[in-house]
């Protein structure tokens, strides 16, 4: 009774109710590895660790049935779990950040006395949807590994190296734009438009299908969102506007009537 915990103790430790532990025992999700003579549940260190995994996955939006599958997956060791959990958490964090950005945008608009278009309001739904069904999406992704790389909009599971490459390419494009601006080339010139096209293809390859209409949207976003604006403005004043114009010029070139 010294290296084993009672339900009450474990519940307090883990921040859940006793009933929850009973429930997990009932459905066989976290079963105490021993019982006292009187029938008291006795949780060992390994049980605590298992509960920790369970609660982590639960927090990520998985149902208990799914959690059971995940943690009993024989081809996944502790590190694999941690990597998976990390990814999902990054997704959650990004999602929260996206919603914060949307709210900032709206607050800003209201502060300036501008009413946003219904279109812009719907962004929240969009991100919200992705958010609410994040786990579901993740599940689908793990289902078939073929369509996975192809159709996903988000950053899936890039390795550190991938990110480094992505960042490098993004910076290369930015620096290219900065130089074009400094040397006085027009935003609608061939050099700027080529850089815009390179950027569009980069986004398409690593993030999501980005057609010309969507690329136009990105251009506007880069002017509207201070974070993105800062990314370009910090390299060269006026660069955000320049990039914006180049994106649109490039879109005009490939798909007139925009």
Partner DNA sequence: CCTTGACCCTCACGTGACGTGATGGCGCAT
Partner DNA sequence: ATGCGCCATCACGTCACGTGAGGGTCAAGG
CB of 120 to DNA, least distance (A): 24
What does the alpha-carbon distance between residue 249 and residue 193 come to, in Å, rounded to a whole number? 7
Chain residues 96-135 in contact with a second copy, contact rule CB under 8 A? 96-97, 99-100, 103-104, 106-108, 110, 118, 121-122, 124-126, 128-133
Nearer to DNA, 16 or 173 (CB): 16
Among 15, 28, 74, 184, binds a second copy (CB under 8 A): 15
For a second copy, how many residues bind (rule: CB under 8 A)? Answer: 55
CB of 194 to DNA, least distance (A): 42
Nearer to a second copy, 37 or 111 (CB): 111
71 binds DNA (CB under 7 A): no
229 binds a second copy (CB under 8 A): yes
Chain residues 39-98 in contact with a second copy, contact rule CB under 8 A? 45, 48-49, 52, 55-56, 59, 78-79, 82-83, 85-86, 89-90, 92-93, 96-97
Q: How far is CA 12 from CA 9, 32, 185, in A?
A: 5, 16, 65
DSSP string covering 54-103:
HHHHHHTT--HHHHHHHHT-TT--HHHHHHHHHHHHHHHHHHHHHHHHHH
What does the alpha-carbon distance between residue 76 and residue 179 come to, in Å, rounded to a whole number? 48
CB of 61 to DNA, least distance (A): 10
- Report the run of H or E that residue 129 belongs to, with start and end: helix 118-132
What does the alpha-carbon distance between residue 129 and residue 168 come to, in Å, rounded to a whole number? 31
Of the candidates 143, 135, 132, the residue with the CA atom closest to the CA atom of residue 98: 132
List Cβ<8 Å contacts ≥24 apart for 8-15: 10/43, 10/47, 10/48, 10/51, 13/48, 14/48, 14/51, 14/52, 14/55
20 binds DNA (CB under 7 A): yes
Q: What are phi and psi of 225, to 5 degrees?
A: -90, 120
Nearer to DNA, 62 or 232 (CB): 62
Among 4, 14, 41, 105, binds DNA (CB under 7 A): 41
Residue identified by tokens 């109710």 is 17
Taken as a whole, the chain contains a residue count of: 258
Chain residues 155-174 in contact with a second copy, contact rule CB under 8 A? 157, 160, 163-164, 167-168, 171
Which tokens sit at 76? 């996944």
Among 22, 110, 165, 227, binds DNA (CB under 7 A): 22
Interaction site with a second copy (CB under 8 A): 13-15, 45, 48-49, 52, 55-56, 59, 78-79, 82-83, 85-86, 89-90, 92-93, 96-97, 99-100, 103-104, 106-108, 110, 118, 121-122, 124-126, 128-133, 157, 160, 163-164, 167-168, 171, 226-227, 229-230, 233-234
């Amino acid at each position: 009774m010294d290296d084993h915990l009672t339900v009450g103790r474990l519940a307090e430790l883990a921040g859940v109710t006793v009933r929850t532990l009973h429930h997990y025992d009932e459905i066989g999700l976290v079963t105490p590895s021993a019982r006292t003579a009187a029938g008291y549940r006795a949780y060992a260190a390994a049980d605590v660790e298992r509960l920790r995994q369970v609660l982590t996955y639960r927090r990520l939006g998985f149902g208990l049935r799914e959690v059971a599958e995940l943690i009993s997956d024989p081809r996944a060791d502790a590190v694999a779990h941690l990597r998976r959990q990390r990814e999902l958490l990054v997704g959650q964090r990004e999602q929260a950040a996206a919603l914060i950005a949307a709210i900032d945008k709206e607050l800003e608009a209201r502060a300036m006395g501008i009413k946003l278009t219904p279109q812009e309001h719907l962004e929240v739904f969009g991100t919200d949807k992705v958010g609410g069904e994040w786990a579901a999406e993740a599940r689908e992704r793990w289902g078939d590994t073929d369509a996975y790389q192809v159709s996903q909009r988000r950053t899936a599971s890039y390795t550190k190296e991938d990110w480094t490459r992505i960042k490098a390419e993004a910076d290369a494009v930015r620096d290219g734009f900065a130089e074009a601006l400094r040397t006085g080339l027009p935003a609608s010139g061939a050099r700027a438009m080529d850089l815009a096209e390179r950027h569009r293809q980069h986004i398409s390859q690593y993030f999501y299908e980005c057609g010309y209409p969507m690329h136009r949207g990105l251009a506007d976003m880069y002017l509207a969102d201070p974070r993105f604006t800062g990314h370009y403005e910090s390299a060269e004043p006026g660069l955000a506007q320049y990039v914006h114009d180049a994106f649109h010029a490039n879109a005009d070139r490939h798909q007139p009537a925009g």
